[in-house]
């Protein structure tokens, strides 16, 4: 194994990985969805008759047809009609109030509310046959006016749900700030920022394969972050007991937050498998994913930031109009993540953030790597640069004057978070030193006196994020078993979609037990093998599941000591554990490896639930960018990311995630965005040629550094890693471009900073004192 | 339509519809699922395989176009005795994969280039150009670039002639 850096590598590098689309099930049908090309409209007719005549097509159904299906072929399920899409209560992503009266049908019945919403499903002997059938479905939809931005939707002139406001949720964090604070402050800056909608775009799109088994159980394969949640949601939808469903997550080709729900297509596929008594799968293709997979971000923000004449922050106000898409089921409460994190790393005495979540005719918004924290960081960090300029202070100096001192942590923020750990100044100092801040400032000054030099800017971004989850969802389940052959099986509720759990967790367990790594094997992503679990989201796997495995390993040691004490007739205090063996503290002859102990005394296994606190990783990112005012192009010359996720379980893997995450952050800053036509239809006919993911061409020199401030929230001390780049990097890059262009109106630089945006900004009025 | 694909040295006599793309036929008919479909419109490169030694997007090529031709997929990278290809070892060593979904495409792009010219590592720009041709969403590309450079250095070392000979089309690597 030593020739492979990760246990996953051998199979993934030789074509022997197993993703859902690779699972061969005899007689499996392929599902294809017929989707609305119209963003908002009344469904007049979905005629499936011709499609049913297509050779190889097994069935075609609109929502209306499905209610006419004969009684369920599957014994365990009790179903009348296609159930609606469930909503997400976890982390308050949605609420019962928001979804009441706003049903999300798995197949649209009488109204479509986003382009790409499914109106019919075709199953065929293979994907080609099913596509043939889909091409024959005749859909007639009468268009209604569409609204695709929260500001356009908020006035309720076009309603998505008749008789109900488009505003589906309101919330706030902190206390409203008295107007006198703004009036009396020495400096106040105001700005508006757009956090554009993004596509998470894992390289493997969504997948589900539902197999009704002979014994009446249902096996569901899915590339998914939360197998146990999927199991319970499907059980509820199908009216089946939870233990009659097995969810298996095989290799998963990336997720970035976007693969943790039960989506409309999942509901339909599982329903059909159960009704038909046949295996059915849906392997989403890229075109579908770009049309109908969840989006991330989507906020229109207004900010006010006030300071005294010395640059001490007095107050920060953030107002969010969030675009949550056409249905409130998955992310209507997601913008609260931004509100709760509005304070950032600064000791601002007054912070108030308010959220208005507005339904629009776009696909639903849901967590995407960063999930609310990029939006908080970008708004605050862009505003910090505006304030520094207003006060004539160096942006680094303004930040230093306002950081929450390391000695004040744990720190209760005005927006309701309690930071567990933090040394924000140390992270910034390391970032400045690494990038060579003073040298670049000198180069900037030189260029400003050289009429032929391209303008250059330096951008900083200091962030605090949150990891582990929200109260009620900060736990997970883990188990450990010692076997007679010496093998140690570790189990947990996490599910990897590329984060190397198979490598990292066995190493952690082996280190805790003092055994060779090769003895430890991880099982996760199978609800039969690990009956309870929460999953991998909110950067929680190392923090929560790592700590849970650490915890059950310690329990296994205690149990082994008790067993040995019984066996040898000694007090347990006199039995010690070291290097995978129990032995008497003095009598060297009484010693046995845990495998022998199992042989002598029977199976040794421990299961437990472990609960973590909330972790608050942090860091500082710095970018140097050069702008060509004639071409509108941005060239990032250097990016330094300093992240602090506490105790690191596997440095190479954490660095790899930090690097990849930073590249996704560059994507938000400079390239990625979804253009919409006036009719509300995304203008993405060219697929990934229209939605520009960063390629190697766009990757600047990036240096990844770390500080390590262990978290007190678990004995392991690990906080979340992997989302840092999406959170910290965008503002650093935008600030660098703003610094290069010295424009007076920050509203002109809205992401993505395409050549068009930058070219226009380069022609705008400069701020006072610019040169 | 009856065709024969030679995949990784094995003959696959197949009866396929002319419209079926090479990737689907490799995956479904030959059951070689190491080739992944990431976009199905030729942008991401996850489905890259070698046809007669040249890298192609197997989502943009019909299987019938490959009748009688030699196809090499990620399953055919390792040596006959199972010894990993230098690229496979280098990708692991450099952490050039995380989720592993795009990986077969990058491996095959690099394998095709490296076998056509083992000295490619002498020109970092050419290696960079290879990495630019595909999309990875996890790694940020730099580890992939390093991995190809590492494998190229190893290949150049193993081939002191500097790659003057024309490699056998679609053949096994000379390691």
Q: What is the CATH number of the domain that holds A22?
A: 3.90.1170.50
pLDDT of the residue at A678 = 86
- Please tell me whether residues A346 and A462 are part of one structural domain: yes
Structure tokens at A81: 């009609």
Q: Is A176 within 8 Å of chain B by CB?
A: no
pLDDT (0 to 100) of residue A66: 84
Q: What is the predicted pLDDT for the residue at A374?
A: 98
> Does one domain contain both A302 and A356?
yes
Residues 6+ apart with CB under 8 A from A259: A202, A206, A222, A223, A224, A225, A252, A497
User: Tokens 């022998």 label which residue?
Assistant: A596
Q: How confident is the model over A339-350, as pLDDT tens digits?
A: 999 999 999 999
The reported pLDDT for the residue numbered A75 is 59
- CA A704 – CA A397 distance, rounded (Å): 23
Contacts with B152 (C-beta within 8 Å, 6 or more apart), sequence order = B114, B118, B119, B120, B121, B127
- pLDDT-derived band at A771 (thresholds 50, 70, 90) equals low
User: Of the candidates A734, A496, A744, which has an alpha carbon nearest to the alpha carbon of residue A636?
Assistant: A734
Q: Quick one: pLDDT band at residue A67, thresholds 50, 70, 90? A: confident
Q: What is the pLDDT of residues A93-140, one digit of tens each?
A: 999 999 999 999 999 999 999 999 999 999 999 999 999 999 999 999
The residue of chain B nearest to residue A691, with distances taken between CA atoms, is B43
What's residue A77's pLDDT? Answer: 65
pLDDT band at A376, cuts 50/70/90? very high
Distance, in Å, from the CA atom of A297 to the CA atom of A213, rounded to the nearest integer, reads 40
Here the CATH number for the domain that contains residue A645 is 3.30.365.10
Mean pLDDT of A327-349: 98
If asked whether residues A444 and A577 sit together in one domain, one would say no
- The answer to whether the Cβ–Cβ distance between A13 and B41 falls below 8 Å is no
Chain B residues whose beta carbon lies within 8 Å of the beta carbon of residue A287: 40-41
Given a contact cutoff of 8 angstroms between Cβ atoms, the answer to whether A312 and A133 are in contact is: no
Comparing CA positions, the residue from A60, A131, A104, A124 lying closest to residue A264 is A104
| Residue tagged 């004449």 (tokens) | A309
Phi, psi values for residue A347, rounded to 5°: -85, 50
Please tell me the distance from the alpha carbon of residue A144 to that of residue A595, in angstroms, as a whole number: 69
Is the complex ipTM higher than 0.90? yes
Of B19, B32, B89, the CB nearest to A3: B89
CA A568 – CA A552 distance, rounded (Å): 24
The answer to whether position A183 is within a domain reads no
Whole-number pLDDT of residue A80: 67
Taking an 8 Å cut-off on Cβ atoms, the answer to whether B43 and A688 are in contact is: yes
**Residue range A29-43: mean pLDDT, rounded:** 98
Q: How far apart (Å, rounded) are the C-alpha atoms in residues A712 and A702?
A: 30
- CA-to-CA distance for A574 and A586, rounded, in angstroms? 8
Asked whether residue A105 falls in the same domain as residue A215, the answer is yes
* Same domain, yes or no: A138 and A221: yes
Shared domain check, A535 and A508:
yes
**Residue for token pair 């097509």:** A57
How many Cα atoms are found within 13 Å in the side-chain-facing hemisphere of A763?
Answer: 8
For residue A16, give the chain B residue with the closest CA.
Answer: B34
Rounded-to-integer distance, Cα A488 and Cα A90, Å: 32
Of the pLDDT bands very low, low, confident and very high (cuts 50, 70, 90), residue B174 is: very low
Give me the residues paired with residue A352 across strands.
A174, A317
pLDDT over 80 at A283, yes or no: yes
Residue A27 forms contact with B (CB below 8 Å): no
pLDDT computed for residue A76 by the predictor: 59
| Residues in A touching B88 (Cβ below 8 Å) | 13-14
* pLDDT value of position A19: 98
Mutate to test the interface with B, among A24, A224, A253 (most CBs of B within 10 A): A253
pLDDT tens readout for residues A178-234: 999 999 999 999 999 999 999 999 999 999 999 999 999 999 999 999 999 999 999
From the CA atom positions of chain B, what is the Rg in Å? 15
Of B46, B75, B128, the CB nearest to A14: B75
Distance from CA of B71 to the nearest CA of A (A): 15
Q: B36: which chain A residues are within 8 Å (Cβ-Cβ)?
A: 19, 21, 203-204, 253
- Whether A438 and A515 map to the same domain: the answer is no
Domain ranges, residue A264: 9-146+202-255+259-292
Please give the sequence-ordered ranges of beta strands (E in DSSP) within A509-568, or none if there are none: 520-523
Residues A604 and A566: their CA atoms lie apart, in Å, by 14
* Residue A1: count of CB within 10 angstroms of its CB: 11
DSSP assignment of A561-577, as one string?
Answer: HHHHHHHHT--GGGEEE
Q: Diameter of chain A by CA atoms?
A: 88
Residues pairing with A743 in the sheet? A766
A178 falls within a domain: no
A395 within some domain: yes
Q: What is the pLDDT of residue B165?
A: 40
In a domain, A316, yes or no: yes
Residue A185 belongs to some domain of the structure:
no
Q: Tell how strand A280-283 and strand A207-212 pair up.
A: antiparallel
Two tokens, residue A655: 């660095």
pLDDT at B173 over 70: no
Residue A70 — very low, low, confident or very high, per pLDDT cuts 50/70/90? low
3-state secondary structure of A487: coil
Distances (CA, A) of A362 to A38, A97, A121, A365: 11, 21, 21, 8
Of A464, A465, A545, the residue nearest A500 (C-alpha): A545
Q: Which residues of B touch A291 (CB under 8 A)?
A: none
CB within 8 Å: A17 and B100: yes
What mean pLDDT value characterizes chain B? 91
CA–CA distance, A11 with A704 (Å, rounded to integer): 28
* pLDDT over 60 at A413, yes or no: yes
A94/A231 Cα distance (integer angstroms): 19
pLDDT band at A695 (very low <50, low <70, confident <90, very high): very high
Determine the distance from the C-alpha atom of residue A644 to the mean position of all C-alpha atoms in its chain, rounded to a whole number. 19
A167 found inside a domain: no
**What percent of chain B lies above the pLDDT cut of 70?**
89
The answer as to whether A192 is a domain residue is no
A601/A625 same-domain check: no
The closest of A541, A491, A500 to A9, measured between CA atoms, is: A500
Q: Do A425 and A400 contact (CB within 8 A), yes or no? A: yes
Binding-face residues of A in 533-552 toward B, CB within 8 A: none
Task: Show the tokens assigned to B55.
Answer: 């890298």
Together in a domain, A624 and A601: no
- The minimal CB distance from A699 to the residues B73, B84, B140 is found for B140
Phi, psi of B22, rounded to the nearest 5 degrees: -55, -40
| DSSP code at position A106 | S
The span from the CA of A206 to the CA of A284, in Å, is 5
Q: Three-state DSSP class for A520?
A: strand
- Kindly report the nearest CA distance between residue B95 and chain A, in angstroms: 7
Half-sphere exposure of residue B8: CA atoms within 13 angstroms, side-chain side: 18
Interface contact A693, partner B, CB < 8 A: yes
User: Does residue A565 sit within a domain?
Assistant: yes
Identify whether residues A552 and A593 lie together within a single domain. Answer: yes
Q: What is the mean pLDDT of residues A265-283?
A: 97
Q: Do B88 and A14 touch (CB under 8 A)?
A: yes
Q: What is the pLDDT of residue B162?
A: 44
- How many residues are present in chain B? 175
Distance CA(A122)–CA(A130), nearest Å, equals 6
Q: What pLDDT band is residue A770 in, cutting at 50, 70 and 90?
A: confident
Structure confidence by residue, pLDDT tens digits, B42-51: 999 999 999 9
CB pair distance less than 8 Å for A702 and B142: yes
Cα–Cα distance, A223 to A248 (Å, whole number): 8
> Which chain A residues contact residue B46 at CB under 8 A?
203
What pLDDT is attached to residue A589?
78
Q: Taking CB atoms and an 8 Å limit, are B37 and A664 in contact across chains?
A: no
| Residue A376 and residue A331 share a domain | yes
Distance CA B105, CA B46 (A): 4
Where do we find the tokens 């730099």?
A: B142
CB A403 within 8 A of CB A423: no
CB neighbour burial string for A159-195, b if at least 16 within 10 angstroms, e if fewer: bbbeeeebbbbebbbbeebeeebbeebebbbebebbb
Phi/psi for A435 (5° steps) reads: -85, -15
In angstroms, the separation between the Cα of residue B85 and the nearest Cα of chain A is 9
Domain boundary among A562, A594, A611: A611
Number of domains in chain A: 3
Any CB–CB contact under 8 A between A202 and chain B? Answer: yes
Cα radius of gyration (chain A):
27
From A578, A594, A611, give the residue that closes a domain.
A611
The tens digit of pLDDT for each residue in A244-265 reads 999 999 999 999 999 999 999 9
CA-to-CA distance for A493 and A607, rounded, in angstroms?
A: 11
Identify whether the C-beta of residue A752 lies closer than 8 Å to the C-beta of residue A671: yes
pLDDT of residue B156: 75
- Return the minimum-mean-pLDDT range out of A49-63, A599-613, A699-713, B145-159: B145-159
Q: What pLDDT is stored for residue B163 in this prediction?
A: 42
pLDDT given for residue B164 in this prediction: 40
| Lowest pLDDT segment from A207-216, A585-594, A603-612 | A585-594
Cα-Cα end-to-end distance for chain B:
37
Helices (H), A570-704: 594-601, 651-666
Domains contained in chain B, CATH given: 2-76 (3.10.20.30), 86-158 (1.10.150.120)
Alpha carbon separation from A329 to A27, A332, B159 (Å, rounded) = 34, 7, 59
Shortest Cα distance, chain A CAs vs residue B74, angstroms: 6
pTM of the predicted structure, to 2 decimals: 0.96
Look at residues A597, A585, A518 and name the one whose alpha carbon lies nearest to residue A557.
A597
Give B167 to chain A, closest Cα distance, Å.
22
Please report the pLDDT score of residue B41 as a whole number. Answer: 97
Check CB contact under 8 Å for A695 and B137.
no
Q: Taking a C-beta distance cutoff of 8 angstroms, is the pair A680, A362 a contact?
A: yes
Boundary (domain end) residue, out of A611, A642, A658: A611
Residue A739's closest CA among A622, A579, A617? A622
B50 backbone dihedrals φ, ψ, rounded to 5° = -100, 125
Considering only CB atoms, A497 lies closest to which of B20, B78, B99, namely B99
pLDDT above 70: percentage of residues in chain A:
98
Interchain CB distance below 8 Å, A286 and B38:
yes
Q: Given an 8 Å threshold on Cβ–Cβ distance, is A15 in contact with B40?
A: no
Given B46, B99, B128, which is nearest A696 (Cβ)?
B128
**Average pLDDT value for residue range A725-729:** 98
Q: Over the stretch B55-64, which tens digit does the pLDDT of each residue have?
A: 999 999 999 9
Q: How far is the C-alpha of A731 from the C-alpha of A198, rounded, in Å?
A: 16
Instruction: Based on the fold, state whether residues A721 and A599 are members of the same structural domain.
Output: no
| pLDDT at res. A588 | 77
Q: What is the 3-state secondary structure (H, E, C) of A451-477?
A: CCCCCEEEEEEEEECCECCCCCCCEEE
For an interface test with A, the pick among B18, B38, B98 (most A C-beta atoms closer than 10 Å) comes out as: B98
Q: Residue A352 in contact with residue A174, Cβ under 8 Å?
A: yes
Please state, in angstroms and rounded to a whole number, the distance separating the CA atoms of residues A162 and A166: 9
Tokens of B92: 């692991």
Q: For residues A108-143, b (16+ Cβ closer than 10 Å) or e, as one string? A: bbebbbbbbbbbbbbbbebbbbbbbbbebbebebee
Q: How far apart are CA B54 and CA A226, in angstroms?
A: 40
**Average pLDDT of chain A, as a whole number:** 96
Chain B partners within 8 Å of A256 (Cβ): 137
Within 8 A of B40 by CB-CB distance, chain A residues are 285-287
Please list every residue in chain A whose beta carbon sits closer than 8 Å to the beta carbon of residue B141: 663, 695-696, 699
pLDDT tens digits along A468-503: 999 999 999 999 999 999 999 999 999 999 999 999
Say which residues have a Cβ less than 8 Å from residue A135's Cβ, sequence separation at least 6: A51
């Amino acid at each position: 194994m030593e020739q492979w850096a990760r246990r996953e590598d051998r199979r993934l590098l030789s074509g022997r990985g197993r993703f859902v689309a690779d699972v061969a099930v005899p007689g499996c049908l392929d599902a294809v969805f017929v989707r609305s090309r119209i963003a908002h409209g009344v469904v007049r007719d979905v005629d499936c008759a011709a499609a049913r005549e297509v050779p190889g097509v097994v069935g075609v159904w609109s929502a209306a047809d499905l209610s006419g299906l004969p009684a369920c072929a599957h014994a365990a399920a009790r179903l009348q009609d296609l159930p609606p899409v469930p909503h997400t209560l976890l982390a308050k992503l949605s609420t019962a109030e928001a979804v009441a009266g706003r049903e999300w049908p798995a197949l649209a019945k009488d109204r479509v509310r986003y382009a790409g919403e499914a109106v019919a499903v075709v199953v065929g002997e293979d994907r080609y046959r099913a596509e043939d059938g889909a091409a024959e479905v005749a859909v007639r939809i009468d268009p209604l006016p569409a609204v695709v931005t929260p500001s356009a939707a908020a006035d309720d002139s076009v309603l998505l749900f008749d008789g109900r406001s488009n505003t589906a949720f309101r919330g706030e964090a902190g206390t409203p700030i008295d107007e006198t604070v703004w009036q009396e402050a020495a400096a106040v800056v105001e700005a508006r920022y757009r956090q554009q909608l993004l596509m998470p775009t894992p390289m493997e799109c969504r997948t589900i394969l539902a197999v009704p088994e002979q014994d009446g159980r249902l096996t569901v394969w899915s590339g998914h972050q939360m197998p146990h949640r999927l199991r319970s949601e499907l059980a509820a939808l199908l009216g089946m007991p939870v233990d009659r469903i097995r969810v298996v997550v095989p290799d998963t080709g990336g997720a970035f937050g976007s693969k943790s729900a039960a989506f409309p297509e999942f509901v339909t596929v599982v329903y059909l498998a159960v009704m038909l008594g046949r295996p059915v799968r849906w392997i989403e293709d890229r075109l579908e994913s770009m049309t109908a997979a969840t989006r991330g971000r989507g906020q229109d923000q207004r900010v006010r930031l006030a300071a005294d004449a010395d640059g001490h922050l007095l107050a920060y106000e953030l107002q969010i109009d969030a675009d949550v898409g056409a249905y409130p089921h998955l992310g209507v409460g997601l913008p609260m993540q931004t509100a709760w994190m509005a304070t950032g790393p600064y000791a601002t005495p007054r912070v108030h953030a308010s959220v208005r979540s507005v339904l629009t005719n776009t696909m639903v918004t849901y967590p995407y790597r960063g999930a609310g924290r990029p939006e908080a960081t970008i708004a605050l960090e862009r505003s910090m640069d505006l304030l520094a300029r207003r006060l004539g202070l160096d942006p680094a100096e303004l930040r230093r004057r306002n950081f929450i001192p390391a000695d004040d942590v744990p720190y209760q923020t005005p927006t309701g978070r309690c930071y567990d750990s933090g040394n924000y100044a140390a992270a910034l100092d390391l970032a400045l030193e690494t990038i060579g801040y003073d040298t670049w400032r000198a180069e900037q000054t030189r260029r400003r006196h050289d009429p032929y030099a391209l303008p250059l800017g330096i951008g900083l971004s200091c962030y605090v994020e949150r990891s582990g989850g929200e109260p009620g969802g900060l736990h997970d389940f883990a188990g450990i078993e010692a076997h007679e052959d010496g093998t140690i099986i570790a189990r947990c509720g996490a599910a990897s979609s590329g984060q190397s759990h198979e490598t990292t967790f066995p190493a952690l367990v082996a280190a805790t037990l003092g055994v060779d790594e090769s003895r430890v094997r991880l099982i996760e992503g199978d609800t039969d093998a690990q009956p309870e679990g929460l999953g991998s989201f909110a950067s929680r796997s190392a923090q929560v599941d790592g700590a849970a495995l650490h915890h059950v390993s310690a329990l296994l040691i205690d149990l082994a000591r008790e067993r040995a004490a019984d066996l040898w007739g000694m007090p347990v205090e006199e039995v010690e554990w070291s290097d995978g063996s129990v032995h008497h503290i003095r009598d060297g002859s009484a010693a046995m490896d845990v495998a022998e102990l199992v042989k002598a005394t029977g199976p040794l296994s421990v299961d437990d639930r472990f609960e973590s606190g909330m972790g608050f990783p942090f860091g500082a990112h710095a970018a140097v960018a050069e702008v060509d005012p004639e071409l509108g192009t941005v060239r990032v010359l250097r990016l330094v990311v300093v992240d602090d996720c506490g105790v690191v379980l596997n440095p190479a893997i954490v660095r790899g995630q930090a690097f990849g995450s930073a590249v996704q952050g560059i994507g938000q800053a400079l390239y990625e965005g979804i253009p919409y036509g006036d009719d509300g239809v995304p203008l993405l006919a060219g697929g990934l040629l229209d939605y520009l993911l960063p390629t190697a061409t766009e990757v600047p020199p990036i240096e990844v550094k770390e500080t390590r401030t262990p978290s007190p929230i678990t004995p392991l001390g690990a906080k979340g890693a992997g989302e840092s780049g999406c959170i910290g990097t965008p503002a650093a890059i935008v600030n660098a471009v703003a610094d290069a262009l010295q424009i007076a109106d920050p509203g002109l630089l809205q992401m993505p900073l395409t050549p068009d945006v930058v070219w226009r900004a380069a022609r705008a009025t400069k701020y006072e004192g610019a040169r | 339509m009856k065709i024969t694909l030679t995949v990784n040295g094995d003959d696959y006599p197949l009866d396929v519809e002319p419209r079926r793309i090479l990737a689907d036929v490799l995956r479904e008919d030959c059951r070689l699922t190491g080739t992944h479909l990431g976009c199905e419109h030729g942008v991401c490169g996850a489905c890259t395989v070698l046809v007669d030694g040249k890298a192609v997007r197997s989502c943009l090529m019909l299987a019938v176009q490959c009748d009688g031709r030699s196809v090499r997929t990620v399953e055919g990278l390792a040596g006959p005795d199972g010894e990993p290809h230098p690229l496979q070892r280098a990708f692991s060593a450099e952490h050039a994969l995380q989720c592993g979904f795009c990986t077969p495409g990058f491996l095959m792009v690099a394998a095709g280039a490296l076998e056509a010219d083992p000295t490619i590592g002498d020109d970092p720009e050419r290696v960079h150009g290879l990495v630019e041709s595909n999309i990875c969403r996890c790694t940020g590309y730099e580890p992939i670039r390093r991995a190809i450079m590492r494998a190229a250095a190893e290949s150049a070392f193993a081939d002191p002639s500097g790659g003057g000979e024309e490699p056998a089309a679609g053949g096994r690597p000379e390691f």
